């Protein structure tokens, strides 16, 4: 029996990269999937692939920064599968930009997706899990929620916010049988990383390579499943040694 047999998992950013790899792994462990993304074309592709492999899956196009869309998403998910056990709160954006040149609109947009969107999805997840009496939420932060880097002020501030949001929610809901942890990836080979940056980012990493989305998915499975049943408020750094430097 799979580790997520009879579990319903909702994954934001499920159309690509870490989210899509996690959806594949979760499905192979028996979960029913609610895939969430802005990118409808890629989201439907992942949905079709999972279904072709006999998984139950739906794709729901949602912008995680729109409160009413997030509410409608959880309503549709509950109507389809009856409950939500796991939420992988993972959708995000990031761009490198010198701070003295950073438009306020770009700052707002980054913080809006990477922090406000995470809050909106977590809040709706908590409402649903409180009714259910249990749940596990995994927020995607970043190693840049722990250490700084030049040119990513908005992203790093938002990801640092996700790390402490995770701790705060964990304490608030620890007695309610809802665990909240975070994944903090290093440089992972997904479409968020520009092709031209891959060699230099590999060089900056002690293990001298980028991580794979599948390597993140294994850590998410650990955090989402009962394998981590005594963990809450934790931020698991999976970064090829970057933050050990
Ligand atoms: N790849 C890395 O090196 C790395 C490192 C640290 C953290 N992360 C984080 O991992 C998460 C997943 O990123 P990834 O590497 O898989 O990149 P990705 O670009 O492959 O996937 C991100 C997905 O999020 C979706 N998305 C963006 N804004 C959205 C919104 N407003 N509403 C709904 N969906 C939205 C995108 O359409 C995309 O499919 C992000 O939070 C990212 O910040 C990635």
Site to substitute for ligand 1 among 66, 121, 190, 236, most atoms within 8 A of C-beta: 190
Ligand 1 site, residue 139, Cβ cutoff 6 A: no
Q: Global pTM?
A: 0.99
**pLDDT interval class at 1 (50, 70, 90):** confident
For ligand 1, atom 2, the nearest C-alpha belongs to 188
Q: Is 146 in contact with 184 (CB distance < 8 Å)?
A: yes
Catalytic residue among 155, 173, 230, 242: 155
Q: 197: Cβ–Cβ under 8 A, 6 or more apart, which residues? A: none
Q: What's the 219 CA to ligand 1 centre distance in angstroms?
A: 16
Cite the DSSP H helix spans in 57-116: 67-81, 104-111
Q: What's the 1 CA to ligand 1 centre distance in angstroms?
A: 30
Query: pLDDT of 150-177, one tens digit each?
Result: 999 999 999 999 999 999 999 999 999 9
Query: pLDDT of 88-134, one tens digit each?
Result: 999 999 988 999 999 999 999 999 999 999 999 999 999 999 999 99
Using alpha carbons, select from 87, 80, 73, 71 the residue that is nearest to residue 23.
87
Query: pLDDT of 204-225, one tens digit each?
Result: 999 999 999 999 999 999 999 9
Ligand 1 site, residue 187, Cβ cutoff 6 A: yes
Catalytic site residue 242? no
Measure Cα distances from 186 to 142, 143, 167, 232, 238 in Å. Answer: 7, 6, 20, 21, 6
Query: pLDDT of 17-71, one tens digit each?
Result: 999 999 999 999 999 999 999 999 999 999 999 999 999 999 999 999 999 999 9
Using alpha carbons, select from 68, 40, 66, 119 the residue that is nearest to residue 58.
40
């Amino acid at each position: 029996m799979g580790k997520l047999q009879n579990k319903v998992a909702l994954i934001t950013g499920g159309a690509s990269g870490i989210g899509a790899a996690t959806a594949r792994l979760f499905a192979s462990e028996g979960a029913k999937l609610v895939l969430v993304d802005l990118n409808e074309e890629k989201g439907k592709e992942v949905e079709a692939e999972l279904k072709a492999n006999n998984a139950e899956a739906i794709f729901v196009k949602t912008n995680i920064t729109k409160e009413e869309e997030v509410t409608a998403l959880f309503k549709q998910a509950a109507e389809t599968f009856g409950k939500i056990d796991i939420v992988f709160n993972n959708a995000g954006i990031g761009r490198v930009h010198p701070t003295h040149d950073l438009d306020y609109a770009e700052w707002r947009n980054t913080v809006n997706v990477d922090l406000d969107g995470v809050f909106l999805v977590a809040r709706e997840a908590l409402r649903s899990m409180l009714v259910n009496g249990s749940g596990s939420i995994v927020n995607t932060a970043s190693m840049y929620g722990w250490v700084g880097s030049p040119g990513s002020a908005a992203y790093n501030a938002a990801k640092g916010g996700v790390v402490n949001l995770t701790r705060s929610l964990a304490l608030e809901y620890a007695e309610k049988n809802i665990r909240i942890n975070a994944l903090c990836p290093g440089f992972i080979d997904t479409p968020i990383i520009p092709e031209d940056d891959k060699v230099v980012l590999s060089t900056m990493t002690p293990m001298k390579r980028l991580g794979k989305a599948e390597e993140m998915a294994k850590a998410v499975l650990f955090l989402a499943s009962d394998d981590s049943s005594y963990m809450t408020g934790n931020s698991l750094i999976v970064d090829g040694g970057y933050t050990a430097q």
